[in-house]
Amino acid sequence: APMTIYENVHALPPASRILWKSGHPPAVEAYWEPTYEPKRTLSLDDAIPLFEESFRESVRHHLISDVPVGAFLSGGLDSGYLVAEAASQMGARLSTYTVGFKEADYSELSLASEMAQSFGTNHHEIMLDPFTQGDLPSIVSAMNQPFGDSSAWPTWAISRAVGKNLKVVLAGDGGDELWGGYPYYAIHNMGRWLPRNDHASGMDHPYDTSFSSRGRRILGDLKRNPNDLYRRWRHLDPNGSFWEKILREDFKSPGVEFPRSKSSGSAHDALLERDVRFYLPSDLLEKVDTMSMAHSLEVRVPWLDPVLFEVVAHFPSTLKINGGITKWLLRKSAEKRAGWLPQSVLRAKKQGFAIPIHRWISNELAGLFHEGPLDRNSRVAPLMDLVSLRRYYEAHRAGHIRLGHALWAVLVLDIWLRQNGLEPS
């Protein structure tokens, strides 16, 4: 927001309202903005009970309902901590749901199952594979405009399964944006003693999967300034070559500028604030709301309770990240509450809610891609050079580059244009 795919149609920005006054044009007014200053002077021991009480109240409020409430449960810390609290407060047995894949390196089924057993929940597992691609037209038709995050697929699948039994669930979305849980927070924190470089090593080959390139990329990220670091991690095509090559001249633009932080605090706070203002509402919450409401399912997010948010936002950054360890206070809280979370969850590497899109777009979805975007009658043909698109697609399939996320966005755009009878202009 405010940009949309439609010409002269704008979206209302997050936490904003439109004011109409007779004789005046409509005005957009923000009614809330995240703030991170002033910081509270707190020790870890003082901050933990303050956080725990705020979180306990948030979960209590979000559990109030006239109908049974369930929860999405991944193998992650935010989801697990939330379900542990919800299960402890509920008088009835909590129903939890996890989506997984046969590709073990993407699936969190084992960690989620371990937590479900520990919490005593009524646990359900939903398996997703690329052979359910027949769902894609329904998934895309639920979108108001093309949405390029491939995790919309598992969100659709788990919402459909849950919606058959429940109408309200809790979800762990917002925890990463509240605490700074993404890898680039740790990278920035560890690299703040190195000289910053706007054009750090590793930027030129973001899709090269060789070990040496990976090492150069990590070193480059450590030296990158916060704005450049954020762009590299949040862009479908960090160095711009894919879109530059496939888009026809009439559809090229200088590019979308990520919003600048309004935070007057630390660089860590600036990264947090940008995720809260940009990534959280424009991607995560839009995805969850769109895919869940397609199945008449209400998803509630206790991590984003305004009171809880204000408490944690004003904690010192040192309580959120310690060296390369993210969510420092949250981990210490879980450790102090014996048996609250399995040690395997506290030690697990962050995984994220992602599908094996690089593999699926190369293999099981190949037919769909050839019949859609690569077809000579493709709806994306007016805006893309199909010869260049095919060249990139084949390079991806051969393993020379990794463009799964960008190619997925092209596929979704083609399906959406066909469904709506539209052509780019």
Phi, psi of 293 (to 5 degrees): -70, -20
Query: 73-82, 123-132, 239-248 — which is least confidently predicted?
Result: 239-248
Q: What are the residues facing 170 on neighbouring strands?
A: 71, 300
Q: What is the pLDDT of residue 190?
A: 64
Q: Write out pLDDT tens, residues 354-379.
A: 889 999 999 999 999 999 999 989 99
Q: What is the mean pLDDT of residues 286-291?
A: 97
CB 104 within 8 A of CB 76: no
**What is the side-by-side strand order in the sheet with 168-170?**
122-127, 95-100, 69-72, 168-170, 298-300
CA 105 to chain centre: 18
Q: What is the pLDDT of residue 122?
A: 96
Comparing 238 with 41, the larger pLDDT belongs to 41
CB 356 within 8 A of CB 103: yes
Q: Write out pLDDT tens, residues 95-120.
A: 999 999 988 788 889 999 999 999 99
Q: What is the pLDDT of residue 203?
A: 41
R_g of the chain, CA atoms, integer Å: 22
Q: What is the pLDDT of residue 271?
A: 87
Q: What is the pLDDT of residue 208?
A: 44
Q: Write out pLDDT tens, residues 172-229.
A: 999 999 999 888 787 766 655 445 454 444 444 444 444 445 555 555 555 565 666 6
Quickly state the pLDDT bin for 280 (edges 50, 70, 90).
very high
Alpha-helical runs (H) found in 337-402: 343-347, 357-362, 366-371, 386-397
The 3-state DSSP class for residue 270 equals: helix
CB 126 within 8 A of CB 115: no
Q: What is the CATH number of domain 44-180+264-347?
A: 3.40.50.620
The rounded distance, in Å, linking the Cα atoms of 178 and 273 is 9
Q: Write out pLDDT tens, residues 161-188.
A: 999 999 999 999 999 999 998 887 877 6
The rounded distance, in Å, linking the Cα atoms of 217 and 205 is 8
Residue spans in the chain of domains classed CATH 3.40.50.620: 44-180+264-347
Phi, psi of 168 (to 5 degrees): -140, 130
Among 394, 94, 406, 21, CA closest to 244 = 406
Q: What is the mean pLDDT of the chain?
A: 87
